[in-house]
Amino acid sequence: MVILLQPRFQAATVGWPPALARLTDLVVLSAPLLAAVIIAARVSRDRFATATGLRGFAWVDAAAGVGVGLIARALVELVAPTAGGIGGGLEVESAGVAGGIVVALAGAVLVTPLIEELFFRGLLQRALGDALAGAGRAVAGIVAVVVSALAFVALHVLATGGNVPVGLLVGSLAVGLGCGILTLLTGRLAGAIVAHVVSNAIGVALLIW
């Protein structure tokens, strides 16, 4: 989520170049998720694309993803409008933090959505759905979507270090449920990735402008 552009490990990276501090932040939070996806794909002896739902793409995925992303961001802005101005939103103390801003923006718009969707919808939701298949397709799907969405919210809440803005809760829940439903209905991950990117990109744009 865009709100997590703020560094989560400030105490450990005090004095570091802003770009390195932001990159460390991104790696620490993203690497475990990506590692879990890769390990799961290897353990299942399935191709990576098949194991995560990345296989296949239809234009309806892009259209649906844009729609879900817009709805999720609209809900956030209704509850807790994003403060405009890159200085306020990203805490720019000097021109020297430009590199850190670039890393943070790239992470929020490109890297984080892809990795989080691979883990939460590509791995966790699909695994839960398979595990609960005996309960019926509808029940398994609904439970998998809800649980993966709550886990998604929990990750973002933990990353704030205890100070949990309302916008974060609404945004992460909206993205989690929206992306989960898209993945459930299509059996593909493309729509969820597009939705996540759109929601975060709009939030970043609002911060900048």
DSSP 3-state assignment of 80?
coil
Q: What pLDDT, on the 0 to 100 scale, is given for residue 27? A: 86
Percent pLDDT > 90 in the chain is 49
What integer pLDDT is reported at residue 26 of this predicted model? 83
Find the mean pLDDT for residues 33-53.
Answer: 79
Mean pLDDT of 32-56: 79
Domain ranges of the chain: 2-208
Residues 6+ apart with CB under 8 A from 114: 193, 197
69 Cβ partners below 8 Å, 6+ apart? Answer: 175, 178, 194, 195, 196, 197, 198, 199, 202
Asked whether the predicted pLDDT for residue 205 surpasses 90, the reply is no
- Count the residues in the chain: 209
Identify the sign of the CA torsion 134, 138, 141, 145: negative
Would residue 19 be called left, alpha or beta, if left means φ above 0 and alpha means ψ between -120 and 50 degrees?
alpha
Measure the CA dihedral 172/173/176/178, to 10°. -120
